[in-house]
A = this chain, B = another copy of it.
Amino acid sequence: MKAVGYIQQQAGLGVEGLIDLELPVPVPGPKDILVRVQAIAINPRDIKMRGSQRASAESPRVLGWDAAGIVEAVGSEVTGFAKGDHVLYAGNMLKPGANAEFHLVDARIAGQVPKGLSFADAASLPLATLTAWGMLFDRLGLPRSGGQGRNLLILGGAGGVATMAIQLARQFTDVTVIASASRPESQAWIRKMGAHHVISHQDDIAAQIKSQKLGPVHWIFSMNTTPASFTAMAAVAAPYGKIGFIDEPEGLDVNLLKPKSLSLHAEAVFTKPIFETDDIGQQRCVLEDVAQKIADGTLQSPVNAHFGTINAENLRRAHQAIESGTSIGKVVLEGF
């Protein structure tokens, strides 16, 4: 089968390290479904993992943590899926990724693609949706159908996770959503996704919250966590406020949490499949619910760029787009 991956473990491996591969079609284990991949999306996770994992010419590393496709075969213990079903999923970062014609995924973390949703739109959803959902509802504990008059700050620009987090907060809660982006086009995007208030994280965050009377902030979802932004978060937080992060911050002074008894929360989509947690089945429910709402127009697809078919050349361009940090919405590739 066709696939795209890299064959050398090397810190800072450039996009040129992504190459076209010819690999054997994998064989599903008892809990797996074998998926004929139709579309994939790219995430910052792919950039972090490029070159950082063991790889060789004999054992290439395939990335890709967003996929939609058609079930080709199911393992002996799989329930709820049959050959021909259309599925979407994020997968498991410890296993081979989805940038391949055929891919295995644990059936417990896959969802059915609803009628009316394209494979490209479906592939754009899993990692960003599950990350946003897990952070908002499981880690930060936003109240479903509640929270009126309380404030959520999404410090994140206009990437995939912010795109979904803004929409999910608007759809499933009554909180006020303050979101940050720095360029006119990214600010326009997050406003379109439903942010009540838009600020710039290039300017003084605390000063903007204060001058626009947007605080105090009860929940903060940060995709850009630095010592400076963390200081601003602690300053604008309400007592007992919760701060979530999904990036890789360095040098944070956690003592900033103390005066207001704040908390700091990590959310990793892969906790469920890696540790096979009791709630592993939640991903299916969330994916199917959100995919249905995209299909029926209740929520907006995060797809903002289509980079063509799935091959090394197009994947390199997609990696570059994500790596630039200025990408808006989701980048997808489709077909082989």
Write the residues of chain A forming the contact surface with B, with a CB cutoff of 8 angstroms: 134, 138-139, 239-240, 245, 248-249, 252, 254-255, 257-268, 270-272, 274-275, 277
What residues of chain B lie closer than 8 Å to A261, measured between beta carbons? 134, 138-139, 265-268, 271
Minimum C-beta distance from A5 to chain B (A): 23
B245/A254 in contact, CB under 8 A = yes
Q: List 16 A-B contacts (CB under 8 A).
A: A139-B263, A239-B271, A239-B272, A248-B255, A249-B255, A254-B264, A254-B266, A257-B265, A258-B268, A259-B270, A259-B271, A260-B271, A261-B267, A261-B268, A263-B264, A264-B264
Pair A259/B274 contact, Cβ less than 8 Å = yes
Cα A274 to Cα B261 with chains together (Å):
11
Assembly CA distance A249 to B254 (angstroms): 7
How many identical subunits does the complex contain? Answer: 2
On chain B, the residues within 8 Å of A240 by CB distance are 138, 271, 277
Which of A138, A262, A270 has the largest number of chain B CB atoms within 10 A? A262
Q: Bound complex: CA of A265 vs CA of B258, how far in Å?
A: 8
Question: CB-nearest residue of chain B relative to A245?
Answer: B254
Report whether A262 and B266 are in contact in the complex, using a CB–CB cutoff of 8 Å: yes
Inter-chain CA distance A267–B239, complex, in Å, is 10
The reply to whether B257 and A264 form a contact with Cβ atoms under 8 Å apart is yes
When C-beta atoms are compared, the residue in chain B nearest to A244 turns out to be B263
**CA–CA, A101 to B240, complex, Å?**
34
Using Cβ atoms and an 8 Å threshold, which residues of chain B touch A277? 239-240
Closest to A277 in B: B239
Please, which residues of chain B bring their CB within 8 A of the CB of A255? 248-249, 266
Residues of B within 8 A of A262 (CB): 266
User: A245-B254, A259-B268, A263-B264 are known contacts; what are 12 more A-B pairs with Cβ within 8 Å?
Assistant: A134-B261, A139-B263, A239-B275, A248-B255, A249-B255, A254-B254, A257-B265, A258-B268, A259-B271, A259-B274, A260-B275, A263-B263
